[in-house]
Amino acid sequence: MLHAVNLTKSYNNHLALDQLNLSVEPGEIYCLLGANGAGKSTTINLFLNFIAPTSGKAVIDQVEVAKDPQAIKKLIAYIPENLVLYNELSGLENLSYFTGLAGMKYHSDQLEAFLDEAGLQGEAFHKRVKSYSKGMRQKVGVAMAIAKKAKVLLLDEPTSGLDPKASNEFSELLTRLSNQNVATLMATHDLFRAKETGTNIGIMKSGQLVEQLSTDEINHSDLEKLYLKHMNA
């Protein structure tokens, strides 16, 4: 579903991403780990076509992202660390606005069903987003992905700053979406969540993927040891 093929990005001779090769298939939750500056966001941004590759390609559903970004837009949902929503609008109004912008027409009862599926409490649907916690805002993002019937989820540190309960709820949503065959690529610093929620883990260092493994293969403690081994190498 989602493939990086020798994907490379350099900024003025600085290699932010160096010949990355990875695949994420439907139903997989692939977690990218790595220190600050390792190239995680660069990878996500290349799949989003926010930036253009220097060489290599990002491919989603057999379409090269840089060649047909409009086709890709229909397939993907993106949740960054801080989702941009209109604070003066309610969660429901934001969902209505953004789905409308993406060319989708839903009745308010359908929009409410999406928010409900994303785990937002009914009493919050009509409250202004400025009163929402970060976890509630992220749920609006998940509702957008559900409304869009996105085949691919691109997430850049979506649980950063969430309390453990909100983070756990977010992880449960990801698992539910992966059970519906969504392919997820997530940049995160949270080793615990990556092991708990992810199906696959890639450890990045200085723009390179230095380790790939299935979460079935490793326990929490060994994952931490492996991560630190790479960071200290």
Ligand X SMILES: Nc1ncnc2c1ncn2[C@@H]1O[C@H](COP(=O)(O)OP(=O)(O)OP(=O)(O)O)[C@@H](O)[C@H]1O
Site residues, ligand X (CB under 6 A): 11, 16, 34, 36-42, 187
Report, in Å, the least distance between residue 41 CB and ligand X. 3
By beta-carbon proximity to ligand X, the closer residue of 112 and 190 is 190
Nearer to ligand X, 79 or 115 (CB): 79
**Which of these, 141, 137, 138, lies nearest to 150 by C-alpha position?**
141
Q: Tell me how far apart the alpha carbons of residues 131 and 48 are, in angstroms, rounded to a whole number.
A: 29
Nearer CB in complex with ligand X: 37/161: 37
Q: With helix as H, strand as E and coil as C, how does the chain read?
A: CEEEEEEEEEECCEEEEEEEEEEECCCCEEEEEECCCCCHHHHHHHHCCCCCCCEEEEEECCEECCCCHHHHHCCEEEECCCCCCCCCCEHHHHHHHHHHHCCCCCCHHHHHHHHHHCCCCHHHCCCEHHHCCHHHHHHHHHHHHHHHCCCEEEEECCCCCCCHHHHHHHHHHHHHHHHCCCEEEEECCCHHHHHHHCCEEEEEECCEEEEEEEHHHCCHHHHHHHHHHHHHC
Nearer to ligand X, 147 or 153 (CB): 153
CB of 146 to ligand X, least distance (A): 26
Distance CA 13, CA 32 (A): 24
- The nearer residue to ligand X, 90 or 138, going by C-beta atoms, is 138
Q: Provide the minimum distance between the beta carbon of 84 and ligand X in the complex, in angstroms, as a whole number.
A: 17
Q: In the bound complex, what is the minimum distance in angstroms from residue 160's beta carbon to ligand X?
A: 9
**Closest approach of ligand X to the CB of residue 79, in Å:** 15
Cβ distance to ligand X smaller for residue 134 or 151: 134
Q: How far is the CB of 147 from ligand X (least distance, A)?
A: 28
